[in-house]
Chains A and B, each alone.
Chain A
Amino acid sequence: MNNSKSILNNLLYILFFFIIFIIYLPIIVMIIFSFNSSKYQIMPFRDFTTEWYYRVINDTQYLEGLTNSLVVSFTVSLLATILAFFCAYSLVNSNFRGKSILNLFFLTPLVVPLILIGISLRFYLSAQGYEPSLYLVTIGQSIFVMPLAILNLSNRMSQIPKNLEEAAWSLGSSRIRSMFEIILPSCKFSLIATFILTFTFAFDEFIIAYFLNNFSITLPIKIWTSLVTGFDPAINAVGTLVFLTSLTLGLTAQLLFMKK
């Protein structure tokens, strides 16, 4: 009995490390290749070089994509975090008939593939006479990150004891004031974490940006085009940089969530 249990446990250990190995393999390969001097992305490894990194830093297209991506994702995450704060506040604090429908309504974008959000927004907005642009990308990506932001924030808010706010009201504070002085400070870390999380999601998002954009590229679009149209070894360097940045941001968000 005990013996069979430990065999099972050992098998589970093997499975776990195997899966971890598999999901890290592409990242490791990417990092290794980013230092490979060979122009063709095949083994064996040639010499060590940092040329690709220099090239990325000096490539205007990558830089343009990066700037656009940063601006768009910053706006998206700011917008989504602020809106989600109010949505979550009203969802947590109110109780009315049809509330569960409203809940569902706020979560539906989670179950709609990004390609559908992208396509239908493009159809709709171009029928209204709007040209695809970075502004539309901002709108589209906000829709896609909103549910995540709302879930995170309402999670945190439902942990704040209600009597704190009630005490404030009975002492004559207005609803808005109590919201800003009680709820906002206690959601501080969650707000920052939500901001970072939505930022990383928007930063990596490709398909919505692809549909709602005309000429100005974002970083994922630039990566995509250089993957599809002939090969550019600098991609590995870009990937490594993006991975390290998202890793730092993601870990920070995670730590902040745990801090509450």
Chain B
Amino acid sequence: MLFFFIFPIIHTLRLSFIDPEIGTFTLNNYVSFFSKEIFYDSFFRTLKLAFSVIFFSILLSFPLAYFICFVINKKYRTLALLLLVAPFWTSFTIRAFSWQLILSDKGVITWFISFFTNYEVKLNFLYSMKASIFGLSLFGIMLTTLLLFNSMITIDKRLIEANSDLGGNKFNEIKNIIFPLSLPGLIIGSVLTFIISIGDYAVPTLLGGGFKPVLAQLMLSTIKGTYDLNTAATMALVLVFVIIIACVPLLSLIKQIRFER
């Protein structure tokens, strides 16, 4: 692990500080990264994408996890979870591509609409930021729901009974019991979703299109195109810094990660 995981990252770190022409130490790569509009734009585009994805996945996975944990009949709980997770065993790329078929201007949705209403519609959805957010949110929802469920299932049912015995309503129950106690799952889920969203390449390419690239796309085209390793390394390191910041909320949870018996 040390050899194949830590060393490569340190090596990349070093590359990002080296001047491509002379080979000496420099901060120029970072300066030019933040001064060039294309990098600057894609950096903020990436952040915007990731935050929107988190927003939607929290918004939808909280009710979903609540549903699977408390509303649904216990017998069907595992089935519901499996149903939710199974599609994500298919390859990421194929699913993204299938969404192309559905969402494109000659896709399944427009066909359906025109079939039933005789209207020709244009969705203008595919190859936009919206489509990337959509594609990644679906993945985020699955992940966050799963982790939230894991936290929610450990909540002591007596707390909920106590709440209703003492006259508290549903809103109190969610605000005072379920939300605070499932917070660890929510945090881990969001951080992982964030990290996957800022680093993903396939969904932004297939659904988002290439005109407004995110960092991962830019990184790849830099490597495959100009083979400018130092610039690519700089982009990689910018991502690493963002991730380190994103992991800060996890620190509060460290104590819960234990391997003991």
Contact of B84 with A by CB under 8 A: yes
Q: Decide if A25 touches B102 in the complex (CB within 8 Å).
A: yes
Q: Decide if A239 touches B94 in the complex (CB within 8 Å).
A: yes
Chain A stretch 201-221: residues in CB contact (< 8 A) with chain B: 204, 206-207, 211, 220
Q: Decide if B107 touches A223 in the complex (CB within 8 Å).
A: no
Q: Decide if A15 touches B64 in the complex (CB within 8 Å).
A: yes
Q: Taking CB as reference atom, which chain B residue is nearest A40? A: B106
A residues in contact with B107, CB < 8 Å: 42-43
A residues in contact with B243, CB < 8 Å: 111-113
- Please encode chain B, from 176 to 208, with 1 for each CB lying within 8 Å of some chain A CB and 0 for all others: 000000000000000110011011111001100
In the docked arrangement, what's the CA distance between A146 and B7, Å?
17
B residues in contact with A46, CB < 8 Å: none
Please pick, from B1, B12, B68, B261, the residue contacting A158 in the complex, using a CB distance under 8 A. B261
B residues in contact with A191, CB < 8 Å: none
Q: Decide if B257 touches A120 in the complex (CB within 8 Å).
A: no
Classify chain A: how many residues form its interface, as a range: 35 or more
Given A25-B102, A110-B192: A204 and B233 within 8 A (CB)?
no
Given contacts A24-B87, A250-B85, 10 further A-B contacts (CB under 8 A): A15-B67, A16-B67, A16-B80, A29-B102, A43-B107, A88-B259, A112-B199, A119-B223, A123-B8, A251-B86
B residues in contact with A9, CB < 8 Å: 71
A18 to chain B, nearest CB (A): 10
- Secondary structure type dominating chain A contacts: helix
B225 to chain A, nearest CB (A): 14
Q: Decide if A239 touches B71 in the complex (CB within 8 Å).
A: no
In the docked arrangement, what's the CA distance between A114 and B8, Å?
13
Which 10 A-B residue pairs are closest in the complex by CB-CB distance?
A113-B199, A26-B98, A43-B111, A124-B8, A246-B89, A120-B8, A239-B94, A158-B261, A12-B67, A120-B12
Contact of A67 with B by CB under 8 A: no
Q: Taking CB as reference atom, which chain A residue is nearest B134? A: A22
Q: Decide if A116 touches B92 in the complex (CB within 8 Å).
A: no
A residues with a Cβ closer than 8 A to B are 1, 4-5, 8-9, 12-13, 15-16, 19-20, 22-27, 29-30, 33, 41-44, 88, 91-92, 95, 100, 103-117, 119-121, 123-125, 127, 139-140, 142-143, 146, 154, 157-162, 200, 204, 206-207, 211, 220, 223-224, 227-228, 235-236, 238-239, 242-243, 246-247, 249-251, 254, 258
- Please encode chain B, from 97 to 109, with 1 for each CB lying within 8 Å of some chain A CB and 0 for all others: 1110110001110
